[in-house]
Structure 1
Amino acid sequence: MNAAIIKAPIIALALLSASACTTFDPYTGEQKTSNTAKGAGIGAGLAAVVAYAANKDEDDARKRNQRILRAATGGAAIGGGIGYYMDTQEAKLRKQLRDSGVSIEREGNNINLIMPGNITFQTGKFTLNPNFHSVLDSVALVLKEYDQTLVIVSGHTDNTGSATTNQTLSEQRAASVSTHLRSKGVLNDRIENIGFGFSQPIASNSTATGREQNRRVEIALIPITE
């Protein structure tokens, strides 16, 4: 996959505190900064994805990146304009996803879309809610326009039930989102899905509210730099 695209500064993001994370309220569009006092904090899932991507085989990642770039509109790596490229992509996503219930997180040049479980799936299920199809369709439109990013879809659960059951469910939910994006024309090479089970909570599992926050799917967008 993508170790070749993960440069040292990006790998370092996985080690940063969640307090370095910038988010945008999906209802007001206002910029917010996460607070480490919120337990693991928003950003835990993104950090795990970045670390996961960094451990992929470098040779395979390089070949994959080359395939993606050959298929991309520009046909070459973003280069020095990564920040601007991700800024404009983020702005498009914010516009498309306003009032959708999906929040947008930014760490460095990485973008993360956080999709709460209550709007994506029925409890214990991995079939997408019909009403959520249009939201993913909007995401796919932006992803196809900005085609020089990797798309890593991760599933997360609360800790209700066994670890094995939650791991399987998280993988199935990530796969459902990935399948929908592919069906809307997002290049297969760009997408990878992974399940984290309940290993990456963003809130306490000791309360119903916390468990609800932990049930989510995230889409991490990581720029290809070579």
Structure 2
Amino acid sequence: MFIPSRLLIAAAAMSLLAGCATNNPYQDQSGQTGMSRTAKYGGLGALAGAAVGAMIPGDHHGRNALIGAAVAGTAAAGYGYYADKQEAQLRQQMAGTGVEVQRQGDNITLVMPGNITFATDSADISSDFYAPLNNLATSFKQYDQNSIEIVGYTDSTGSRDHNILLSQRRAQSVANYLLSQGVNGARVTTRGAGPDQPVASNATEAGRAQNRRVEVNLRPLPGAQVSQPTTQPTTQPLTPR
């Protein structure tokens, strides 16, 4: 069925402008501001919605196209905008801590290097790392529509079995602390990857230091309701022992 091109253009423009009109806190790693995911997803959703709306039987194809664009554009932009806001908060909270915030699509990854998280061959959280973890717990309670996978990694020094166990204990230590601060345990999983998936060469000390890390992967929960972040009561951080 023919859809007037001017309606498709108008629908896309409406959704893109709506996305751009919101404050887009997302910036890529180089610091250059890109198109917000709200605008991008909203624009694509609007085009699809316009096509579906125009196919509804009746004499109001143009009106139906615009309605379909508005509904689909809003739905498509929802999690992108939600993730934009969460990412911006995490970047602000983790600034200067040594924790790297990465973004790929709707997934956010926090990379915690071993030199700030745990002592050598230990699963006891370093005292300086409690403050960043407290901030993470606050964010995870406010933004509660994604799963939290915590993965521990080691370098290749020592036996594989030892490293797998050590990396699992480290991931679990991070998880236990987050849970103690009120993060919903149903969202949290842990895994020890040991020396697998190195990010640098294990042939040098600098490379091994990069491989010793904990990563926290945030992914949207199925059927997540993302209209507004959840406001949580403030909890008193535990005192490190």
User: What range describes the TM-score normalised by the shorter chain of this pair?
Assistant: 0.5 to 0.7
Amino acid at match of 1:83: G
Q: Which residue of 2 aligns with 1:158?
A: 155
Q: Is the 8 A contact 1:23 1:103 kept in 2?
A: no
1:218 maps to which of 215, 220, 225: 215
Please give the secondary structure, in 2, of the residue aligned with 1:125: coil
Q: Which has the higher contact order (CA 8 A, sep 6+)?
A: 1
1:97 equivalent to 2:94? Answer yes
2:127 maps to which of 111, 126, 130: 130
Unaligned runs of 5+ in 1: 1-21, 32-77
Query: CA offsets, 1:42-100, max 9 Å, x none?
Result: xxxxxxxxxxxxxxxxxxxxxxxxxxxxxxxxxxxx95311111110000000111000
Q: Tell me, in whole angstroms, the C-alpha distance in 1 between the residues paired with 2:28 and 2:168.
A: 25
- 1:176-191 to structure 2, matched below 5 A, reads 176-191=173-188
Q: Which residue of 1 aligns with 2:194?
A: 197
Q: Tell me, in whole angstroms, the C-alpha distance in 2 between the residues paired with 1:23 and 1:188.
A: 30
Please give the secondary structure, in 2, of the residue aligned with 1:150: strand
How far residue 224 of structure 1 moved from its aligned partner, in angstroms, is: 1.2
Distance 1:79 1:147, change over 3 A: farther
Q: Looking at CA atoms only, which structure, 1 or 2, has the larger radius of gyration?
A: 2
Query: CA offsets, 1:174-216, max 9 Å, x none?
Result: 0000001001110010000000010110111111110000000
Q: Which residue of 2 aligns with 1:139?
A: 136
Q: Tell me, in whole angstroms, the C-alpha distance in 2 between the residues paired with 1:225 and 1:111.
A: 16
1:88 equivalent to 2:85? Answer yes
Please give the secondary structure, in 2, of the residue aligned with 1:196: strand
* TM-score (normalizing by structure 2): 0.62
What is the number of residues matched between the two proteins? 156
Q: Is the 8 A contact 1:24 1:103 kept in 2?
A: no
Please give the secondary structure, in 2, of the residue aligned with 1:111: strand
Query: CA offsets, 1:143-198, max 9 Å, x none?
Result: 10000110000000000000000000000000000001001110010000000010
Please give the secondary structure, in 1, of the residue aligned with 2:141: helix
Q: CA RMSD in A?
A: 1.9
* TM-score (normalizing by structure 1): 0.66
Amino acid at match of 1:146: Y
